Structure 1
Amino acid sequence: MSDVEYASSWLLDVINKENADNIQKMAIVLSGIWFSRNKKNWEGKIISPAITINLSSRQVHDWQEANRWRYPGLVYAVDPSKENQVVWRPPLQGQYKLNVDASLYKGEGMFTLGMVLRNDAGVFVMGKVMKVAGEVSVMKAEAKGMLEAIQ
């Protein structure tokens, strides 16, 4: 086994070799680890590994279902043979682009916001994930995310 100097380089190398199903499983695990770490660090709550993976899997499933409903023709990978693809584009030079997404938990009185700010080269500048109390529509949740990011 070779030495790994940078975890990010190792992870990108692994992702480039894996199929989409395995990449999704890795994303679920990494998201769960990050969520559990934040719960422990910021709220002093310890979440079991089984619950962590369950919550992460549910969030991915909810996100996929929401996007199937909202964007039935959404294409995630760039394929030159396909027309009308939805592809992220960086902002104009000297500007920033804010992406906000919300995950609603119907009947639980809460929703999660994810915000990512990127510069004109598409480079990550900052991001934030937060849980918010309340039952709102997707539009209101995402508007709350934009307001939170601007503040």
Structure 2
Amino acid sequence: MSVGDIEHLAHLFFDCRFAQECWKIVGLEYDTRDVEYVSEWLINKLSNDTAENLGRISAVLWRVWFSRNKRIFENKNMSPAITMNWSMTQIKEWRYANNKRKAIGLNQRGVMQHQERKWVKPELGYRKLNVDAAIK
């Protein structure tokens, strides 16, 4: 990647009006005009910021890139508000699904994590059948 490529990425993700509006919508505004190396600055942000802000930063970077590609390759323009609304909805859905996976004991690969479980007597009028199986 050349210096020119990095300058273009800095413009795309931080300096253009569309990107600046996206940052504003998620409650983060960055002025990178005086930053010498935007890539190093961004890596530092990603390494040291809060989990909440990491989600916002990722949302903006992802959706700015997605919107740019929609505009260039499909001639579709989206407003920053619609772009970020869609992105934040996706992140909320991902967090909900991730929390649900943790609640039922699934790890990142969808495998049930070992948890100590106790037998619970069924409610009155019900019978319980415990089954153990392995499938390969």
User: Normalised by the size of structure 2, how large is the TM-score?
Assistant: 0.47
Higher relative contact order structure (alpha carbons within 8 Å, sequence separation ≥ 6): 2
Task: Tell which structure's C-alpha radius of gyration is larger.
Answer: 2
Return the structure number with greater helix share: 2
